[in-house]
Amino acid sequence: MHNKTIADLAKGLRSGEFSSVELTQSFLDRIKQHSSLNSYITVTEDLALQEAMAADARIAKGDAELLTGIPIAQKDIFCTQGVKTTCGSKMLDNFIAPYDATVIEKFNNAGAVMLGKLNMDEFAMGSSNETSYYGAVKNPWDTNTVPGGSSGGSAAAVAARLAVCATGTDTGGSIRQPAALCGITGLKPTYGRVSRYGMIAYASSLDQGGPMARSAEDAAIMLQTMAGFDEKDSTSVDQPVPDYLAGLNNNLDGLKIGLPKEFFGEGLNSDVAATLDAAINEYRKLGAEVKEISMPNLKLAIPAYYVIAPAECSANLSRFDGVRYGYRCENPADLTDLYTRSRGEGFGKEVKRRILMGTYALSAGYYDAYYIKAQKIRRLISEDFKNALAEVDVIMGPVTPSTAFGIGEKIGNPIEMYLSDIYTIAINLAGVPAMSVPAGFVDGKPVGLQVIGNYFAEDRLLNIAHRYQQVTDWHQQTPKGFE
Amino acid sequence: MSQQWETVIGLEIHAQLATKSKIFSGASTAYGAEPNTQACAVDLGLPGVLPVLNKEAVRMAVIFGMAIEAHIAPYSVFARKNYFYPDLPKGYQISQMELPIVGVGHLDIEVDGVTKRIGVTRAHLEEDAGKSLHEDFHGLTGIDLNRAGTPLLEIVSEPDMSSAKEAVAYMRKLHELVRYLGICDGNMQEGSFRCDANVSVRPKGQKEFGTRAEIKNINSFKFVEKAINHEIERQIDLIESGGKVVQETRLYDSVKDETRSMRSKEEANDYRYFPDPDLLPVLIDEAFKEQIKAGLPELPQAKKQRFKDQYALDEESTTVLTSTRQLADYFEAVVKGAACEARICANWVTGDLSAALNKAGLEITESPVSHQRLAGLLVRIADNTISGKIAKQVFEEMWQSDSSADEIIEAKGLKQITDTGAIEAIIDKIIADNQDQVEQYRSGKDKVFGFFVGQVMKEMQGKANPGEVNKMLKDKLK
- Domain with residue B431: its CATH number is 1.10.10.410
Task: Specify whether B275 is located in the same domain as B343.
Answer: no
Contact B89 A232 (CB under 8 A): no
B148 pLDDT band, cuts 50/70/90, is: very high
pTM comes to: 0.90
Contact B270 A364 (CB under 8 A): yes
At B20-56, the pLDDT tens digits run: 999 999 999 998 899 999 999 999 999 999 999 999 9
Task: Specify whether B155 is located in the same domain as B227.
Answer: yes
- pLDDT recorded at residue B388: 82
Tally of structural domains, chain B? 3
Burial of B272 from C-beta contacts in 10 A (0-12 / 13-18 / 19+): buried
Distances in whole angstroms, Cα of residue A90 to Cα of each of A71, A356, B222: 27, 19, 52
Q: For residue B225, give how far its alpha carbon lies from the nearest alpha carbon of chain A (Å).
A: 35
B439 pLDDT band, cuts 50/70/90, is: confident
Measured CA to CA, the distance from residue B164 to residue B154 in angstroms comes to: 20
Compute the mean pLDDT over every residue in chain B, rounded to the nearest whole number.
Answer: 91
Task: Specify whether B403 is located in the same domain as B439.
Answer: no
Task: Specify whether B38 is located in the same domain as B167.
Answer: yes
**By C-alpha distance, which of B351, B308, B315 is closest to B377?**
B351
Task: Specify whether B118 is located in the same domain as B24.
Answer: yes
- pLDDT recorded at residue B3: 54
To which CATH superfamily is domain A6-255+392-476 assigned? Amidase signature (AS) domain (3.90.1300.10)
- pLDDT recorded at residue B442: 85
Distances in whole angstroms, Cα of residue B356 to Cα of each of A384, B360, B396: 74, 6, 9
Task: Specify whether B259 is located in the same domain as B304.
Answer: no
Is pLDDT at B335 greater than 70 in this prediction? Answer: yes
Contact B47 A200 (CB under 8 A): yes
At B249-289, the pLDDT tens digits run: 998 888 888 888 887 776 778 999 999 999 999 999 999 99
The boundaries of the domain holding residue B357 are 298-412
* B293 domain residue, yes or no: no
Measured CA to CA, the distance from residue B337 to residue B345 in angstroms comes to: 10
Domain boundary (B379, B412, B445) is at: B412
Q: What pairs with residue A117 in β-bridges?
A: A42, A74
Task: Specify whether B254 is located in the same domain as B330.
Answer: no
- Whether the ω angle into residue A150 lies within 30 degrees of 0, i.e. cis, is yes
* B325 domain residue, yes or no: yes
Mutate to test the interface with B, among A312, A336, A355, A372 (most CBs of B within 10 A): A312
Is pLDDT at A478 greater than 60 in this prediction? Answer: yes
B2 pLDDT band, cuts 50/70/90, is: very low
Contact A319 B277 (CB under 8 A): no
Is pLDDT at A325 greater than 70 in this prediction? Answer: yes
Q: What pairs with residue A213 in β-bridges?
A: A185
Task: Pick B92's closest partner by Cβ from A92, A318, A320.
Answer: A318
Phi/psi of residue B20, nearest 5 degrees: -75, -40
Decide if A174 is catalytic. yes
Decide if A150 is catalytic. yes
Measured CA to CA, the distance from residue A205 to residue A420 in angstroms comes to: 21
Residue A367: its chain B contacts at CB < 8 A?
272, 274
The domain spans of chain A are: 6-255+392-476
Task: Pick B278's closest partner by Cβ from A235, A314, A319.
Answer: A235
Task: Specify whether B145 is located in the same domain as B236.
Answer: yes
Catalytic residue from among A19, A20, A75, A342:
A75
* B226 domain residue, yes or no: yes
Measured CA to CA, the distance from residue B171 to residue B224 in angstroms comes to: 9
Residue contacts between A and B (CB atoms, under 8 Å): 100
Contact B84 A318 (CB under 8 A): yes
* B11 domain residue, yes or no: yes
At A306-317, the pLDDT tens digits run: 999 999 999 999
Distances in whole angstroms, Cα of residue A368 to Cα of each of A298, A363, A372, A414: 21, 9, 5, 25
Measured CA to CA, the distance from residue A431 to residue A194 in angstroms comes to: 12
Q: Which chain A residues touch B if contact means CB-CB below 8 Å? A: 78-79, 85, 87, 92, 95, 97-99, 101, 196-201, 203-205, 231-235, 311-312, 314-315, 317-321, 323-326, 335, 339, 359, 362-364, 367, 371
Contact B45, B270 (CB under 8 A): no
- Of chain B, the percentage scoring pLDDT greater than 70 comes to 99
- Of chain B, the percentage scoring pLDDT greater than 90 comes to 67
Task: Specify whether B468 is located in the same domain as B384.
Answer: no
Domain boundary (B372, B387, B412) is at: B412
List strand residue ranges (DSSP E) for B160-306, in order: 193-203, 213-216, 248-253, 258-264, 274-275, 282-283
Residue B278: its chain A contacts at CB < 8 A?
201, 204, 234-235
Please give the torsion angle defined by the CA atoms of residues A297, A303, A305 and A308, in that order, rounded to the nearest 10 degrees: -120
Residue B51: its chain A contacts at CB < 8 A?
234
Measured CA to CA, the distance from residue A290 to residue B71 in angstroms comes to: 52
Task: Specify whether B155 is located in the same domain as B240.
Answer: yes
Task: Specify whether B317 is located in the same domain as B362.
Answer: yes
Catalytic residue from among A39, A128, A132, A150:
A150
Residue A98: its chain B contacts at CB < 8 A?
41, 46
Task: Specify whether B129 is located in the same domain as B175.
Answer: yes
